[in-house]
């Protein structure tokens, strides 16, 4: 087997209708003609998953989790067979496989299964027969006794994870994620006009960008790629243009600078005002939120005065109403003065693998925002990221100012070398 | 296991939307509350199968057979999960199974697979757990080595076959086919206003009615029921009314009369005029039609005059254009004078298990048609049927005249006894 093996993944918008499916098939056939073995992972067509969810909700408020997974998995079965048919009509030998047929087994948790194992014997066999293998993304079967295996889905964006897991199991030479954008940018190009596409980005930086709302790829898929050392290329399915390579970045030390900006509008701030400052208060507040499945982020506790303190944190904006319902009785019980919320906030982050070694970046970020007249309400940091919460109305101003201050529009001289290696 | 076991099948129109699915679920839950174990076979929702076919055809003129089966099978997966969800929401325990999970294996022929075996261990287990088992109809997996099994579909109307096969394998007490009509009639009630629903009909009579265009049930399903002695009840999913029981009819000898009329408009007449009257001519004409998958029926060859003869036969009207294309060069080669076709014909049949013992029926049929001014163009007979081809314009006149002549509107006194037994 001297032919290079490439795993490609096409998202729902890339296979949204018959025309797009034929276009994707032409692209796959071209790659094949160039001499590659190909495993192609597809998502469900366009809004199919949402339509199936709506159908289930028209029947019952609480669809059974097992049945819902069986239902949703049909979306990817359909797109996989259609892409295979389109390849046949181009004279390219192809076969579609369900997640189960592709050898993907999961931990059996409906709706949010994790891949437990990939046993790609059938895929290898089909490749050996000369077939392009089309795999239904987003799913696998639970690893139980024969005849009892159930279909489980991997949750939203699970097709990215399918592609990375297959690339790892097959030791693929490349793993290409085709999306409706060209790649990863220094900032969201819909907001910052000078945003520049990055030729290469490290796993850790990509994770922070993904976490902070630059949702080109699912966080889980990036994590899986990092652990398994799978080099990912993110690129557009609608044009022939170089994408962004996500990989271990050996040039981090030479770079030591901000690589990009992330922002997130799906955020709301919650403040518990004048809560008694005694041990266990945070747990009393956050345990019930965790039990309700609400993610809490950016927790800030002010220094207490007179036995009371203010505690602020953020939750996803879509969860704010539920969070308030959970917290209201607890806040009364704790004897806090009140619970205030603010849904018109946003997070803006600078991301770069070198940030934690260079404290000057935080100061430059805060200074830039101050100069632009943007007030910082909360701050949080990680190894590769500094995040400020600001008023949503000032988000665009903040992004433009930071993009300029960190010279993100200017190509990084180190990138040329990195790209050369990534393409090899 | 003293509870009676009932297999029910609901067709596509019975589960066409969320409202109908909820209605079907209520009906199933009611039956369950009455103390039955239930296995329910469902077809795809409404026009889903046609929509999936259209999608495939939008991508390629010749969809790969394997991929098409994978694609079409998703329709029944979807309806099965939705019916199961609807039952859950009524508090009735239920689980949906694919054909493969239900233990249905086939001979592996894509698009027209035959059931090779049913191993209902999983179904029995789920029944034992107290579940109503919803089975995706129309499909099974090919019986090959583990990990290589493929999804195969049983062809149009295959869900009827699934239901009968499961009823046979499970030794069910009843097999109910829910449709959009109340049962089997003495004639098509849309054409003959005095048509009467039959309380009971024999397998052989039912087969002839089905073959001749009374398409309430698929021929294959009736054959399978006959071989396995499965008693079928055909009834309406939209009203609570007694249906028609299909079973071995022990009262045939006492009946000895016409049980019903069938008709078929999907027919066209082909005549090869003045073809040389020598051995092998029929084969030369019919072998290529068989190879093209075109069914030929009602073959009539006139007595030859002067070394030439006229040969007439019928083909399905939808196949006429293809049949002409196949035959034109052959007719020239054979030296026949010409090929004429007539698509404005129809078949009308009298059906009854006693017909072959009572030659008077044929005479009465021909006489009745003559009295009604209907010209007979061709005649064919079987053990339980006499069919005449007539002009399509005279079909309604012919059906009314025959329905009156054979007193079909009048209940059969023997039926009361038969119904009593069938219900037991």
pLDDT tier, B321 (very low <50, low <70, confident <90, very high otherwise):
very high
Band the pLDDT of A246: cuts 50, 70, 90: very high
Say what the pLDDT of residue A98 is: 95
Is the pLDDT assigned to residue A236 strictly greater than 50? yes
Q: What is the pLDDT of residue A252?
A: 65
Suggest the residue from A17, A28, A29, A59 to mutate for an interface test with chain B (most B CBs closer than 10 A): A59
A–B: how many Cβ contacts below 8 A? 113
Per-residue confidence (pLDDT) for residue A424, from 0 to 100: 33
Cβ–Cβ contact B132 with A under 8 A: no
pLDDT bracket for residue A422 (50, 70, 90): very low
Contact A60 B85 (CB under 8 A): yes
From A326's Cα to the closest Cα of chain B, the distance in A is: 26
The Cβ of residue A178 has, within 10 Å, a number of other Cβ atoms equal to 25
B101 close contact with A: CB closer than 8 A: yes
Who among B55, B62, B66 is closest to A82 (CB)?
A: B55
219-278 in A: which are within 8 Å (CB) of B? none
The pLDDT confidence band at residue A2, using thresholds 50, 70 and 90, is confident
pLDDT at residue B253 in the model: 62
Nearest chain B residue (CA) to A53? B82
What does the alpha-carbon distance between residue B327 and residue B235 come to, in Å, rounded to a whole number? 43
The average pLDDT across B155-160 equals 86
CA distance B277 to chain A (A): 45
Alpha-carbon distance A362 to A383, whole Å? 12
Q: pLDDT tens digits, residue range A48-77?
A: 999 999 999 999 988 999 999 999 999 999
**B112 close to A (CB below 8 A):** no
3-state SS class at A51: helix
Q: Do A71 and B52 touch (CB under 8 A)?
A: no
Q: Which residue has the tokens 């293809």?
A: B322
The CA distance from B47 to the nearest CA of chain A, in Å, is 15
**Which pLDDT tens digit goes with each residue over B125-136?**
999 999 999 999
The residue with greater pLDDT, B14 or A417, is B14
Asked if B147 reaches chain A (Cβ–Cβ under 8 Å), the answer is: yes
What is the DSSP track for A121-163?
A: HHHHHHHHTTPEEEEE-SEEEE--STT---EEE--TTHHHHHH
Q: What is the pLDDT of residue B143?
A: 78
Q: How far apart are CA A156 and CA A161, in angstroms?
A: 10
- Average confidence (pLDDT) over A19-33: 95
Q: Of B67, B73, B85, which has the smallest distance from its Cβ to A85's Cβ?
A: B67
Which chain A residues touch B99 with a CB distance below 8 Å? none
Chain A residue with Cα closest to B145: A122
DSSP result, A3-39: S-EEEEEE-GGGGSSHHHHHHHHHHHHHHHHTT-EEE
Does the pLDDT of residue A283 top 90, yes or no?
no
**DSSP letter at A45?**
S
For residue A351, is pLDDT > 80? yes
User: Is the pLDDT higher at A238 or at A161?
Assistant: A161
B77–A71 C-beta distance less than 8 A:
yes
Q: Hey, what are A250's tokens?
A: 């050996």
CB-based contact, B333 to chain A, within 8 Å = no
The answer to whether residue A16 scores a pLDDT higher than 60 is yes
| Chain A residues touching B77 at Cβ < 8 A | 70-71, 73-74, 77
The model's confidence at residue A418, banded by pLDDT at 50, 70 and 90, is low
Percent of chain A with pLDDT over 70: 93
- Please judge whether A59 and B95 are an interchain contact, meaning their C-beta atoms are less than 8 angstroms apart: no
* Chain B residues with beta carbon closer than 8 angstroms to that of A131: none
pLDDT at residue B359 above 80?
no
Select the residue of A59, A61, A73 nearest B18 (Cβ to Cβ): A59
Q: B21 vs A74: CB contact, 8 Å cut-off? A: no
For B5-248, CATH gives 3.40.1160.10
Distance from CA of B26 to the nearest CA of A (A): 12
Closest chain A residue to the Cα of B99, Cα to Cα: A147
A155-169, A246-260, B149-163, B370-384: the lowest-pLDDT one: A246-260
Three-state SS across chain B?
CCCCEEEEEECHHHHCCHHHHHHHHHHHHHHHHCCCEEEEEECCCCCHHHHHHHHHHHHCCCCCHHHHHHHHHHHHHHHHHHHHHHHHHCCCCEEEECCCCCCEEECCCCCCCCEEEECCHHHHHHHHCCCEEEEECCEEEECCCCCCCCEEECCCCHHHHHHHHHHHHCCCCEEEEEECCCCCECCCCCCCCCCCECCEECHHHHHHHHHCCCCCCCHHHHHHHHHHCCCEEEEECCCCCCCEEECCCCCHHHHCCCCEEEEECCCEEEEEEEEECCCCHHHHHHHHHHHCCCCCEEEEECCCECCEEEEEEEECHHHHHHHHHHHHHHHHHHCCCEEEEECCEEEEEEECCCHHHCCHHHHHHHHHHHHCCCCCCEEEEECCEEEEEEEHHHHHHHHHHHHHHCCCCCCCHHHHHHHHHHCC
Cβ pair B82:A95 closer than 8 A: no
Chain B contact for A292, CB < 8 A?
no
Q: What is the pLDDT of residue B421?
A: 43
Give the chain B residue whose CA is nearest to the CA of A92.
B64
Nearest CA in chain A to B134: A67
Q: Could you give the C-alpha distances from B124 to A64, A196, B133, B225, B286, in angstroms and in order?
A: 21, 61, 9, 21, 48
A390-414: average pLDDT = 92
The per-residue pLDDT for range A214-232, each reduced to its tens digit, is: 677 888 899 999 999 999 9
The closest CB to that of B58, out of A18, A60, A103, belongs to A18
Of all residues in chain B, what percent carry a pLDDT higher than 70? 93
- Tell whether the model's pLDDT for residue B424 goes beyond 50: no
For residue B58, report the phi and psi dihedrals to the nearest 5 degrees: -70, -20
Q: Which of A114-123, B91-100, B188-197, B248-257 has the lowest mean pLDDT?
A: B248-257
Mutation target to probe the A interface, by most A beta carbons within 10 A, among B85, B140, B141 is B85
- Whole-number pLDDT of residue A330: 93
Enumerate the domain spans of chain A.
Answer: 5-248
Q: Mean pLDDT, to the nearest integer, of A17-25?
A: 96
- Whether the pLDDT of residue B1 is over 70: the answer is no
- Supply the mean pLDDT for chain A: 89
CB contact under 8 A, A95 and B66: yes
pLDDT over 50 at A403, yes or no: yes
pLDDT on residue A143: 78
């Amino acid at each position: 087997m001297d032919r290079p093996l490439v795993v490609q993944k096409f998202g729902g918008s890339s296979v949204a209708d018959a025309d797009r499916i034929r276009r994707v098939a032409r692209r796959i056939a071209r790659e094949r003609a160039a001499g590659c073995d190909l495993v192609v992972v597809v998502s469900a067509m366009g809004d199919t998953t949402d339509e199936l969810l709506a159908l289930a909700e028209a029947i019952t408020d609480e669809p059974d989790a097992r049945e819902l997974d069986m239902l949703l998995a049909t979306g990817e079965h359909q797109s996989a067979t259609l892409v295979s048919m389109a390849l046949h009509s181009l004279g390219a030998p192809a076969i579609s496989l369900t997640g189960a047929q592709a050898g993907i087994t999961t931990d059996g948790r409906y709706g949010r299964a994790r891949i437990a194992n990939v046993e790609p014997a059938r895929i290898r066999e089909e490749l050996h027969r000369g077939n392009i293998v089309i795999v239904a993304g987003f799913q696998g079967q639970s690893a139980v006794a024969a005849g009892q295996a159930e279909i489980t889905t991997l949750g939203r964006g699970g097709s990215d994870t399918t592609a990375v897991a297959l690339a790892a199991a097959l030791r693929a030479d490349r793993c290409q994620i085709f999306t409706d954008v060209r790649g990863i940018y220094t900032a969201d190009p819909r907001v910052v006009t000078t945003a520049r596409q990055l030729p290469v980005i490290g796993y850790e930086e990509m994770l922070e960008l993904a976490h902070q709302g630059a949702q080109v790829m699912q966080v889980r898929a990036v994590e899986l790629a990092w652990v398994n050392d799978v080099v990912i290329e993110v690129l557009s399915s609608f044009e022939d243009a170089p994408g962004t390579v996500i990989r271990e970045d050996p040039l981090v030390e030479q770079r030591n600078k901000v690589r990009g900006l992330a922002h997130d509008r799906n955020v709301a701030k919650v403040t518990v005002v004048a809560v008694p400052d005694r041990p266990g208060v945070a747990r009393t507040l956050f345990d019930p939120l965790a039990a309700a499945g609400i993610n809490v982020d950016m927790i800030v506790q002010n220094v207490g005065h007179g036995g009371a303190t203010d505690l602020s944190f953020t939750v996803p904006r879509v969860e704010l109403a539920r969070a308030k319902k959970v917290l209201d009785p607890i806040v009364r019980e704790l004897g806090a003065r009140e619970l205030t919320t603010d849904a018109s906030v946003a997070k803006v982050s600078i991301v770069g693998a070198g940030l934690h070694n260079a404290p000057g970046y935080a100061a430059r970020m805060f200074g830039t925002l101050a100069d632009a007249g943007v007030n910082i309400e909360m701050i949080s940091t990680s190894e590769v990221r500094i995040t400020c919460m600001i008023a949503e109305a000032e988000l665009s101003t903040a992004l433009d100012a930071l993009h300029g201050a960190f010279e993100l529009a200017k190509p990084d001289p180190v990138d040329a070398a990195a790209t050369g290696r990534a393409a090899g």
